[in-house]
Amino acid sequence: MLRNFFSDIMFRMISLLFLHTGAILRYIFNHFISRNRYSYHASILNAPLLDHSGMPYHEAFNEWKGQQDERNRHACTQLNAKQQHILETLKTEGYTHEEAIDSMISAGDICIVDTNIFPRNPEHFSNRALNRLVGLLFW
C-alpha cells in the first residue's frame, strides 16, 4: 500500500513535468513562431466538448466563446441583492468599482466562465494530452 502511494506520487510528478514542459514548448511555438497570441494558461486548460454537427469545431468554439463572454458581462453588471450589498461594502472601504468587481470575482461572489482556452477539439486530442505527448517527446 505504501509502495502504491509512492509510485502514484512519482507518476503524478512525472506526468506534471511532461504536461508543463509540453505547455511551455507549445506556448513558445504559438507565441513566437506562429504568432497566435494564446497565453500559457490557455494551453493548460482543456477546451469544452461542444455539439458542433454541421460546422467546424473552431466556428462552434467561437460561437460558444461569444455566448460566454456575453454571460460574463451580464454577470458583472446585473448583480443580485447580496452581490450589490457586497459591492457597496467594498466601495465604502475605498475600492473603486472595477477593483470591487475584480475582488468579488476572485473571492467567488461573481462566477464567470474562463474563455481563455486554446480551441482544440477534445474529441481528437485534448490540450493536456497534447502537452504530455510533447513533453514526453522532448525528454
pLDDT tens profile 2-33? 778 888 888 888 888 888 888 888 888 877 88
Cell 500559457 belongs to: 40
For 79, phi then psi, to 5°, come to -95, 145
Domain that includes residue 103, residue range: 51-116
User: How far apart (Å, rounded) are the C-alpha atoms in residues 26 and 30?
Assistant: 6
The pTM of the full predicted model, rounded to 2 decimals, is 0.65
For 36, other C-beta atoms within 10 Å of its C-beta total 12
Residues 103 and 124 in one domain: no
CA neighbours closer than 13 Å in the CB half-sphere of residue 72:
14
How far apart are the C-alpha atoms of 110 and 37, rounded to whole Å?
27
Residues 70 and 112 in one domain: yes
The domain tally of the chain equals: 2
